[in-house]
Amino acid sequence: MIGVFDSGYGGLTILDSIRHELPEYDFLYLGDNARAPYGTRSFEVIYQYTLQAVQYLLRSGCRLVILACNTASAKALRTIQQHDICPETHRVLGVIRPTVEAVPAVTKNGHIGILATPGTVSSGSYVLELEKVFADVNKMQNFGTLHISQQACTLWVPLIESGEYLSEGSDWFVEKYLRELLRQDPQIDTILLACTHYPLLLPKIRQSLTRIRQENGNGRLPELVAQGDIVARSLRDYLSRHPEIENSCSKGGSCRFLTTESADKFAASASVFLQSPLFRESPLAAEHIEL
């Protein structure tokens, strides 16, 4: 089984793409919905919560766990990889590195905006990884100087977890953070949705960006980079390079869902995040767990 973890529903946007790309594998999803959002919590708390979830997935038979959560990837991944798991038998992967590796092919001017939770922004992980990746690209392409701007979108995850993200009131908060990002650097041509919840806001983000651009003389809209397909392709590549892990992942095409919240509440909300026809085959059932 491949374990997929997020603080709540956001990781389902990653699971959706992974399952589409790799339908033959068995998946176990764990959403810590009862304790979401993680994005405003301290390093220690995010690390402890993430470790508990990873250990649960490993105990449940997963040899490989994907942290489908940028906040957990930024704050807990490295410590867990270095101190808490045995790499001979188990692997834990994050979503930041694959996302960052996709950026050089997208930006034309090196002006990059990052939309993320306060925890991901304060970790500086995206800035660090982008600088590393572009340092390599620069050697090859002489790309030029990199301009990275980060914007914490504190209320986006709570709006999504509460189901309020489609309400008119949420428009105001979507636009607020986009304006703040573009105020930092009006030349941004590439925006990373560096939180797995944010693809749910894509239609509103596009509308807001169009409005903002119209006010400023109709410039080109920035490219929006969502993570699902990027992470899915990167996982396929990882499995092909690591046959010892790949061989231990069972292949029955199943998918189970665990949540720390009420199972019925999870099942009712989760389907919004899952677009792949694979998830239409049977009604979604979830299981409540305690971490």
Residue 111: φ, ψ to 5°: -100, 110
Compute the Cα dihedral for 9, 11, 14, 16 and give only its sign.
negative
Residue 69 near ligand DGL by CB under 6 A? yes
Residue 117 near ligand DGL by CB under 6 A? yes
Contact positions with ligand DGL (CB under 6 A) in 18-37: 36-37
Q: Quick one: which of 3, 31, 39, 104 contacts ligand DGL (CB under 6 A)?
A: 39
Q: Is 195 a catalytic residue?
A: yes
Residue 38 near ligand DGL by CB under 6 A? yes
Q: Are 106 and 225 in contact (CB under 8 A)?
A: yes
Set 62, 153, 195, 255: catalytic member: 195
Q: Are 160 and 200 in contact (CB under 8 A)?
A: yes
Q: Count the residues in the chain.
A: 291
Nearer CB in complex with ligand DGL: 7/150:
7
Can you tell me the distance from the alpha carbon of 239 to that of 246, in angstroms, rounded to the nearest whole number? Answer: 5
Nearer CB in complex with ligand DGL: 2/116:
116
Residue 170 near ligand DGL by CB under 6 A? no
Residue 199 near ligand DGL by CB under 6 A? no
Can you tell me the distance from the alpha carbon of 267 to that of 270, in angstroms, rounded to the nearest whole number? Answer: 5
Can you tell me the distance from the alpha carbon of 50 to that of 36, in angstroms, rounded to the nearest whole number? Answer: 11
| Stretch of 48-56, 63-71, 147-155, 207-215 contacting ligand DGL, by CB under 6 A | 63-71
Residue 98 near ligand DGL by CB under 6 A? no
Query: Strand 64-67 and strand 91-93: pairing?
Result: parallel
Q: Are 266 and 259 in contact (CB under 8 A)?
A: yes
Q: Is 255 a catalytic residue?
A: no
Smallest distance, ligand DGL to C-beta of residue 195, A: 4
According to DSSP, residue 102 is labeled H
Q: Quick one: which of 2, 4, 8, 93 contacts ligand DGL (CB under 6 A)?
A: 8
Q: Quick one: which of 98, 197, 199, 279 contacts ligand DGL (CB under 6 A)?
A: 197
Helix, strand, coil percentages for the chain (3-state, nearest 5): 50, 15, 35
Enzyme catalytic residues? 69, 195
What residues make contact with ligand DGL under the rule CB under 6 A?
6-8, 10, 36-39, 69-71, 117, 120, 157, 195-197
